[in-house]
Amino acid sequence: MRPFTLLSLFVLALLHSGCVSTSGRVGPRDSFPLDPREELVGPFPAEMASGWRALLAGDTAEAEEEFERARLQASGLAAEIGLVETWVLGKKPERAAKACVSLLKSGEPTLPLLVACGEAWAARSEPSDALALYEQAVARAPQRKGLRARASELRASARGELVREAKASAEKADWEAARSRIVRAIELDGKSVELRALAGDIESAAGFGEKALERYREAIDLGAKDVTLREKAAVLALEVSDHALAVSLFDELAREEPRFRERAEQARLLFRVANWPAPEREAASSTRLTRAEAARLVWWMIPEVREAVVASGVIASDVVSRRDSRALERALSLGLLDVDPRTHRANPDAALTLAAGSRLLLRLVALLSTSSLPPACYGDVLPRSGVEAARVASSCVLIDDREGAGPSPPVLSGPEFTRALDRVRVLASEEETGGAGGRSR
């Protein structure tokens, strides 16, 4: 008999005795566990086939014994992978993970090894590490729908884990850790409005307003409709002086909910004020407006005051040498501000009280109006005292009702007074046209 024939008979005898096995593959599986022999070149010990059958049958104890025998005979990678799969399914993730650490370093990992080790990390509640291995596996075998589905599951788990970690780090004021985790979560779910909103909250809490606004804007650009989120973005836009964005957001919110109308008005005012000269801008933003600042705003916003002809000037000893004396002197000459008759002082650096500010606003209405009748909102009696002036100014919606609020005596802020000056012109125009605030002539 020829040598070739004798060799063939010998191999057939070995196969029949079970000492050597061909691949024994049952076709590529779509999900874990994968045949540990996949991508490897045989021959394999017969125990590999029996171990794989036991694993598929759910008998992890028998599978472990068979794979151990195979490893002792051949010391092959297939048996090592089979053991990892067995330990994962047998609820021994720590043992599986320990084996994976060395196996993944030993060379180019096979698809079954990537998947098995991915499941080992998942069983240890480390979905981010599991996902990294599954992503490699999917890149190797994109046609495996089961692997892609499992990667999607792990992606969701990893996202949730990263969000929890980011929130925990933020609670400890560990902003760098919080930021890195939320950035990683966004990389996993690039279209999530929720993640970008959380990233904005983290940046805002860390004191990085511009970065927070950038994240909020990303969420809005992705279609965020949450009112609270858009309000946060609008408020931050004002803080970082992005007035155009603030106006856009508050106007949009005001169209949806009336409670935002005043905020929208304030935003539009700040947008306008942002381009004013520094002294007027500072006055309009002041939390405690002075009498001199009020005179400056009147001079700037009401051209009729600058152009008005006055017969005689009012002398105030504490106004003459000031840089803003022109605005102050004009306000005094027109009776918009009063001079103390005993001291001949105008007290320009004193706060503009509600009473003094109300009288100034009502006198401006009279100055701008061509009607001989007072506005209907004045009531039947022209205001004489500061208390009456404040009541009438509130009735005419020049200022908000301030009864019982703020310091005593109550004072006006720059934004409040600036808005009131805009309303003065509206009220005076209504008087001329017989509008809602005027009387018929």
SS3 annotation, 364-433: HHHHHCCCCCCCHHHCCCCCCCHHHHHHHHHHCCCCCCCCCCCCCCCECCHHHHHHHHHHHHHHHHHHHH
Answer yes or no: is pLDDT of 90 > 70: yes
Residue 10 to residue 18: CA distance in whole angstroms: 13
Copy the structure tokens of residue 110.
Answer: 């096979």
Percentage above 70 pLDDT, the chain: 88
Confidence at residue 27, expressed as pLDDT on a 0 to 100 scale: 58
Please report which confidence band the pLDDT of residue 5 belongs to, taking 50, 70 and 90 as the band edges: very low
Answer yes or no: is pLDDT of 315 > 80: no
Comparing CA positions, the residue from 138, 81, 82 lying closest to residue 107 is 81
Please report which confidence band the pLDDT of residue 108 belongs to, taking 50, 70 and 90 as the band edges: confident
Confidence at residue 406, expressed as pLDDT on a 0 to 100 scale: 56
Answer yes or no: is pLDDT of 408 > 80: no
Residue 130 to residue 132: CA distance in whole angstroms: 5
Give percent helix, percent strand, percent coil of the chain, each to the nearest 5: 65, 0, 35
Confidence at residue 18, expressed as pLDDT on a 0 to 100 scale: 39
Evaluate the omega torsion of the peptide bond into residue 43 and state whether it is cis, within 30 degrees of 0.
Answer: yes
- Digit-coded pLDDT (tens) for 237-258: 999 989 999 999 999 999 999 9
Confidence at residue 15, expressed as pLDDT on a 0 to 100 scale: 38
CB 333 within 8 A of CB 368: no
Please report which confidence band the pLDDT of residue 353 belongs to, taking 50, 70 and 90 as the band edges: very high
Residue 323 to residue 349: CA distance in whole angstroms: 13
Residue 243 to residue 285: CA distance in whole angstroms: 14
What is the 8-class DSSP label of residue 107?
S
> Helices 414-433 & 291-301, crossing angle to 10 degrees?
40
What is the 8-class DSSP label of residue 10?
H
Burial class (CB in 10 A: 0-12, 13-18, 19+), 341: exposed
Stated pTM of the model: 0.65
Copy the structure tokens of residue 130.
Answer: 């599991």
Copy the structure tokens of residue 336.
Answer: 């918009």
Q: Which phi and psi (to 5°) does residue 409 adopt? A: -70, 150
Residue 110 to residue 337: CA distance in whole angstroms: 87
Average pLDDT (35-45) is 92
Confidence at residue 23, expressed as pLDDT on a 0 to 100 scale: 42
User: In degrees to the nearest 10, what's the CA dihedral of 43, 46, 50, 53?
Assistant: 20
Answer yes or no: is pLDDT of 386 > 60: yes
Please report which confidence band the pLDDT of residue 380 belongs to, taking 50, 70 and 90 as the band edges: low
What is the 8-class DSSP label of residue 45?
E
- Digit-coded pLDDT (tens) for 258-291: 999 989 988 988 898 988 999 999 999 999 999 9
Copy the structure tokens of residue 238.
Answer: 């004002």
User: Mean pLDDT lowest for which of 6-15, 267-276, 378-387?
Assistant: 6-15
DSSP 132-163: HHHHHHHHH-TT-HHHHHHHHHHHHHHHHHHH
Confidence at residue 288, expressed as pLDDT on a 0 to 100 scale: 94
Copy the structure tokens of residue 274.
Answer: 């942002």
Q: Which phi and psi (to 5°) does residue 324 adopt? A: -95, 30
134-to-1, 102, 114, 118, 125 alpha-carbon distances in Å: 53, 18, 7, 6, 15
Average pLDDT (323-349) is 92
Name the amino acid, one letter, at 231.
E
